[in-house]
Amino acid sequence: MLKKPRLRSGLAAVAAAAIGLAACSLELPGQGDPPRQFVLTPKSTYDEDVPSVDWQLLVDKPVAKAGLDTSRIALRHSAIQFDYFGDAAWMDTAPGMVQALLVESFENSGRIIGVSRFAIGVKSDFVLTTELRHFWAEYQGPRSWTHNA
């Protein structure tokens, strides 16, 4: 006949308390403060001599390396060190946001017949394809930073 090992009641109480305290310190998804979200605004003012065109344009989503193809706001400490702001994010991935800004900026110019995001079935005369290589804030000193797009 096998005997089951017994825990002393005091040891069991300590173990239960430790597990309870550990569970209190875990942050489950959806808990805590949501990240602050940021957006950029499209260009809205243009020189009067910008010519009008009679063609339609599709804007493809920019290609970006994985470190920039995210909604996290990138921060560059040096030429070889890359990080992200804590508790802050773009409203969309950086490539998605840049695509939307390009479309809105062309629309705001009022100088183009039609502009749209790249989509199947939409007719256009030209497709604008871009690559997002630099899109981060850079430290300029101990506490200042600037945006580099």
pLDDT at 13: 54
- Say if pTM beats, i.e. exceeds, 0.75: no
Spatial neighbors of 126 by CB under 8 A, at least 6 apart, are 55, 56, 57, 58
pLDDT in tens, the chain (149 residues): 555 555 455 555 555 555 555 555 555 656 777 789 999 999 999 999 999 999 999 999 999 999 999 999 999 888 888 899 888 999 999 999 999 999 999 999 999 999 999 877 788 999 999 999 999 887 666 655 455 55
Please report, in angstroms and rounded to a whole number, the separation of the first and last CA atoms in the chain.
74
Tokens 């005997």 map to which residue?
3
Please give the angle made by the CA atoms of 78, 99 and 38, to the nearest 5 degrees: 60
Return the CATH number of 35-148, one of 3.40.50.1820, 3.40.50.10610, 3.90.550.10, 1.10.640.10: 3.40.50.10610
Given a contact cutoff of 8 angstroms between Cβ atoms, the answer to whether 80 and 140 are in contact is: no
Q: What is the DSSP letter of 66?
A: T
Q: H helices within 26-93, ranges in order? A: none
CA-to-CA distance for 37 and 27, rounded, in angstroms?
21
Span 47-64, pLDDT tens digits: 999 999 999 999 999 999
Q: What is the DSSP letter of 95?
A: H
pLDDT at 137: 83
82 φ/ψ sector (left φ>0, alpha ψ -120 to 50, else beta): beta
CA-to-CA distance for 62 and 51, rounded, in angstroms?
25
pLDDT at 7: 46
Cα distances from 76 to residues 37, 60, 73, 136, 137, in angstroms, run 19, 26, 10, 6, 6
